Amino acid sequence: MPYEHGAHGLLHHVGWFVDTPLTRGVSTVDPMASEHESAASAAYGRAGPPRVALPQRGVVIGLRWSGAEGAGNQIVAAKVECSGERAHLSRLWRPFTEAPGRRHVRERLGAWLTEEARWAEGRLVVGVDFPLSLAETHLRQLGLLRQAIRGPSVLGKHLDERFLGEGGDFTEGAQRFRSELGKDRPRVTDCYRAEPHPPTHARTYRATFFGLCALSRLEAAFPPWDPPQAGKPTVVEVRPAHVARALCGVTAFRDDAKDGVNRSSTRPAILRTLRSAGKLEFEMEQAAQIVEDVHAEHLDAALAAFGAAAAAAEDFQGVPPNVPRSEGWIHSVREEPWRER
């Protein structure tokens, strides 16, 4: 069992509990819990735990994206299969490691998406964690506002032709892209979702540029630009960090080597919330993969899938009226999911 050591370490270190043969029958309730703790849990004004509805049918994939050189080695996918009132995290993997170069990833993305949609019998939603557009001011600056209104694939095609071209280098193209835009500008959706890094920020512009170029060749529906279409994959923008914040009040779940901060107890706490809030099931091996990943790439993918699934259950509704059509929307779980509706 490849994850046996990690699974046992997980149980020992953080008290993680998953209903598997390894742990079935193990209780996480402390029989010595004090009356004071019981009283505190029923404090005045305290709401119940968060509840999130997920789709009754279909497959949702979350993609933790990368715009770095060798991106295929860093892109992580999480697949959630929805059936009835349960959702199952069926797979965590890196789908592009065989040819990890950015040009190869772009060439293979469409075929990969088509194959995943075929296995999902036409009911596929993909949540990507990179921006699907730019701030309206930047779009006007580039002269691409009308193209952005038509959706990410059209915008990506024009960015590809303008900054990359045939045989161009993605790193140089992304640098030219950012240099031409100048000052970072957040979109309206970035403000609504408290996203700290707008599309052209130093930490995100490579992923933005490469992601939009990669989408330029896709046949898919992109809410809110398009409604979901039968037989076509649906691709939406998500933010794993927003899902964690909305559900758990957590804003950081990666280990920080510079400060020596270990967050190996934060990641399983988030997993427990996904399980209780959305009835998301997963195996011990997957829990170990997520918790032991100090960079939280696997957790990013799982949160992206969860956020996209929650948005799909709401039919991708609820975009505020003041959000420009050209800028798109970050889909996610609803705000304050612990409040009764």
Q: How far is CA 117 from CA 79, 112, 152, 301, in A?
A: 12, 9, 19, 18
- What pLDDT is attached to residue 218? 93
pTM of this prediction? 0.89
Q: How far is CA 65 from CA 14, 130, 214, 224, 322, in A?
A: 29, 7, 11, 20, 28
Q: Are 96 and 108 in contact (CB under 8 A)?
A: yes
CB atoms within 10 A of CB 217: 15
- What pLDDT is attached to residue 55? 96
Q: Are 291 and 284 in contact (CB under 8 A)?
A: no
Alpha-helix residue ranges (DSSP H) falling in 124-265: 136-142, 145-150, 152-163, 170-181, 188-192, 205-215, 240-248
- What pLDDT is attached to residue 222? 98
Residues of the chain whose pLDDT is less than 50?
Answer: 1-8, 11-40
Q: Which residues pair with 71 in a beta bridge?
A: none
- What pLDDT is attached to residue 10? 52
- What pLDDT is attached to residue 17? 45
Q: Given the structure tokens 């009764």, which residue do they identify?
A: 340
Q: Which residues pair with 89 in a beta bridge?
A: 80
Given the DSSP bridges, would you call strands 86-93 and 234-238 parallel, antiparallel or unpaired? unpaired
Q: Indicate the SS3 state at residue 145.
A: helix
- What pLDDT is attached to residue 24? 35
Looking at this protein, which amino acid is placed at residue 188? V
Which helix (DSSP H) or strand (DSSP E) does residue 110 occupy? Answer: helix 102-119
199 preceded by cis ω (within 30°)? no
